[in-house]
Amino acid sequence: MCESGPGFLMRNKRSLPPSIEGETGTRRYTYTYMHLKSIIPFCLLTLVLTTTAIAADLADFQRHFRILPQPQKIELLSGKGLLPSALRGVYLFNVGERPVMSGALASLPLRKNGGEGIITLRLREDLAVPSDEGYVLEVSGGQVSIQGRQAAGLFYGIQTLIQLIEDATDQQIEIPACRITDYPEIAYRAIHLDMKHHLETGHYYYSIIDRLANIKVNAIIIEFEDKLRYRKAPVVGAANAISIEEFAAISRYAQERHIEISPLVQGLGHASFILKHEEYKKLRDDPASDWVFDPLHPGTYDLQFALYEDAIKATPYSKYLHVGGDEVGSLGKSELSKKSGMKPLELQMYWLKKVTDFALAHDRIPIFWDDMVFKLADLYQTTYDDKMPAAKVEELWKNNQATLDKNVTLFPKNCVYMRWNYDTPAIPGNRRAIDWYKAHNLKVMAATSAQPIYPMLPRNRSNFNPIKDYCSLTSEKKMDGILCTAWDDCSVHFETIWRGIYDFGLFSWNYEDISEPQAHTLFRQRFYSPAMADASMDFQNALEDALPFWETALLKEGDRDNYHKDFKLVDLPDPAKPGAWSAAYKSKIEGAKKAVEKYTAIKGKIKKAQEVSSRNQYALAVMEQINELQIYSAMQLLLLEQYDNAAKGTRKTSLAQVKTFTENFEKLRAQFENVYGETRILGNPEGYQLDSNFHHHLANGTNNTDWMYVYELAMNKKVEEWMSHQLLTND
């Protein structure tokens, strides 16, 4: 006997046909119906049509409700759903303390029983999910049930409910009856906060934590550098540094939202923020450089351990201590190192053993950037160079792996080796490196990046493919977690990084092979509103594509990835040779005209986004200011072209337009910094000593904010000097 079909609708990433999307899926199933009608019995046809209806209903659900990260399984149930406005309380079935709730749930009172309009929270150790962070959320009969094995699971179920409520409220629809079963594939999912070159205003750190919690990120590794007010080495902390007590409060706030904050205090290399000070020059491996500690000087460990102890106090809920250790460069230049006869790898691992012992003695597990391990074994290029032939990779590993193998006893077993790769994680050499750790029973964690070193805005679609690939590899290789870095070298605003972070949240929780456009549809709906989901509403890709011209528009040669003291600006028109400048800079002028077209389109899209977005308006304000700044160079070039080609009688007018435009830059800068300054402390405190900085970071170029406009300011000065030499009365 034929039945009408199952009583619920199911989505499972391993079984849902990829074509069940919108009209394409509808057309496919219409064709299937017409084809099958003549060849299968009515009973079976009914089953096919029921399955088709199930898929269509689920597709409709997914068009309206976009949860990020995507749950492992969604089932649609028959019966009554839920209007967000009908919620009237929270019932703690066997939960001792109410979890943190935000948004529409924050003001709901506690109730003594479940029922319609009530959210019931229940802990169940026997819940059939493979993780303590797993949960089952059910909406039915006008009420909500959330079950979790542990408190973290309940919290993440609440985050999913918040997202459902947001989508239902924004679209003025009901949350349909459904059951969501969910859990993470990767246990440790961390975001990197790099405080190297700037501080945020205090409230902004709390805002970041709230948004990370909502996408189920469960850890932060914070790179303090000199932005913590160290008690045991006060000279290291900047004058505006955050106190240990203040940061412990931030750590507690994060812990309440199931985010574990761990400190990263760079050691061995990247030590300019310490070794630049006169008091610590004696600890340098190379007396001429503030980059590297002397690994054999006892004072190195006295100082590093003092910094670690303060950082641990500022992050009291963490199990990790990230000790840095990357990009050391040359090692072994100190007199003590030379006398020891130790090789660079031995010196590196000697330091690592010392800091590992310290960490373990303080109940912390050390994390170590691992690039130097492979550099000193002449294998590093294989881990990142995707142009290296496979045969060459095999040859290098065959010849050089012995260096690693014979020194494996130097590798502390209780350390986590962080295998960082921000561009090409899936290449054979990187896989070999991970496999080597696994074969020797060493803990290995992945590190990807949502912002490597680009100025103003992350690129490559927010580094989508590397993030996606490394999350997949982390799950496949059963690594000990993954970190998504956000480097402060060019000190982009954190609001520009969110898209990459959401990609990380998406793939680190539940990896599915979805495309960049699909993922960023999810992002726009979650971050802004359902009205932003359509691809036509995207502006960030266009802004990414506009910035490369801005970076070098005013330069004959150079870049903005670093702070260059020596650079060559474009020439300026010679009034005695009309048109010659325009001919010489034809490609720049063509690029400037295209840049103006892009700017106009981006401006219109951001304006539309501001009209329809219900969340994160501040991010749109930041993007708006970036667009206004990036077009300045192009417009300046076009005004110079206008002057160069002006008829004799109009040249004075053209010159006046150049003058007015140049003078208005300070107004543009003030508007830009007014928006940035809402969440960021701009500039360094008085008397701040810049690093000599081996890497010449852009954001380390000046103590004030001039580094943000280094070429605009230089060009304006050049233009002003040029204008002063023009005969303004000359027609």
The 3 state secondary structure assigned to 446-506 is: EEEEEECCCCCCCCHHHHHHHHHHHHHHHHHCCCCCEEEEECCCCCCCHHHCHHHHHHHHH
- CATH H superfamily, domain 71-183: Chitobiase/beta-hexosaminidase domain 2-like (3.30.379.10)
Residue 97 pLDDT greater than 90, yes or no: yes
As a whole number, mean pLDDT of residues 318-342 equals 93
As a whole number, mean pLDDT of residues 205-224 equals 99
Residue 68 pLDDT greater than 70, yes or no: yes
As a whole number, mean pLDDT of residues 490-500 equals 98
As a whole number, mean pLDDT of residues 372-382 equals 93
pLDDT of amino acid 661: 98
Lowest pLDDT segment from 253-267, 478-492, 551-565: 551-565
Span between the terminal Cα atoms of the chain, in Å = 97
As a whole number, mean pLDDT of residues 112-131 equals 97
Let me know if 185 is a catalytic residue.
no
**One-character DSSP codes across 188-217:** -EEEEEE-SS-EE-HHHHHHHHHHHHHTT-
Q: Which helix (H) or strand (E) holds 365?
A: strand 365-369
pLDDT of amino acid 16: 34
pLDDT of amino acid 28: 30
Please give the Cα distance from 448 to 661 (Å, whole number): 42
Residue 679 pLDDT greater than 90, yes or no: yes
Residue 706: pLDDT band by 50, 70, 90 thresholds?
Answer: very high
Residue 714 pLDDT greater than 60, yes or no: yes
Residue 7 pLDDT greater than 60, yes or no: no
Residue 50 pLDDT greater than 50, yes or no: no
Residue 577: pLDDT band by 50, 70, 90 thresholds?
Answer: very high
The domain limits of the chain are 1-64, 71-183, 189-524, 540-724
Could you say which of 21, 174, 256, 327 is catalytic?
327
pLDDT of amino acid 695: 76
Residue 639 pLDDT greater than 70, yes or no: yes
Residue 730: pLDDT band by 50, 70, 90 thresholds?
Answer: low
pTM for this model (two decimals): 0.92
As a whole number, mean pLDDT of residues 678-684 equals 98
Across the chain, what does the average pLDDT equal? 92
As a whole number, mean pLDDT of residues 536-553 equals 98
As a whole number, mean pLDDT of residues 480-492 equals 98
For the 189-524 domain, the top CATH level (class) is: alpha beta
pLDDT of amino acid 725: 85
pLDDT of amino acid 376: 87
Tokens of 334: 């100190």
Residue 634 pLDDT greater than 60, yes or no: yes
